[in-house]
């Protein structure tokens, strides 16, 4: 029976506290989105509970049309999971959905 050879990288990986994990799913935002989101947040930061009671909250259900597996593995340390290089951008509803 043949024995699988150890990869030259294995000793380094075992001693460096680095392992594979799934990429964090975050909304795919561009710089313009971040600026608009901050402006919207600053406009509403002084709203009271009573102000929020006048907002119409939707109770719709979303059914996704295009859903990929979304499993991307990245290598790094746990505290790096929210670094942009360890994230996978997503779009709302996986690129398409039907609201009912």
Average pLDDT, the chain: 75
Residues 6+ apart with CB under 8 A from 76: 18, 21, 83, 85, 86
The per-residue pLDDT for range 46-64, each reduced to its tens digit, is 999 999 889 887 777 666 5
Cα–Cα distances (Å) from 39 to 43, 59, 74, in that order, read 6, 26, 33
Q: How confident is the model at residue 82 (pLDDT cuts 50, 70, 90)?
A: confident
pTM for this entry: 0.33
Query: What is the predicted pLDDT for the residue at 2?
Result: 47
Residues 6+ apart with CB under 8 A from 68: 94
Query: What is the predicted pLDDT for the residue at 1?
Result: 46
Question: Which of helix, strand or coil describes residue 10?
Answer: helix
């Amino acid at each position: 029976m043949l024995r699988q050879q150890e990869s030259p990288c294995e000793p380094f990986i075992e001693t460096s506290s680095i392992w594979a994990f799934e990429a964090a799913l975050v909304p795919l935002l561009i710089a313009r989105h971040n600026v608009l989101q901050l402006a919207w947040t600053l406009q509403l930061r002084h709203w009271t509970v009573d102000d929020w009671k006048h907002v119409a909250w939707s109770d719709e259900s979303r059914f996704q049309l295009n859903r990929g597996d979304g499993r991307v593995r990245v290598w790094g340390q746990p505290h790096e999971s929210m670094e942009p290089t360890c994230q996978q951008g997503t779009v709302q509803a996986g690129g398409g959905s039907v609201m009912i």
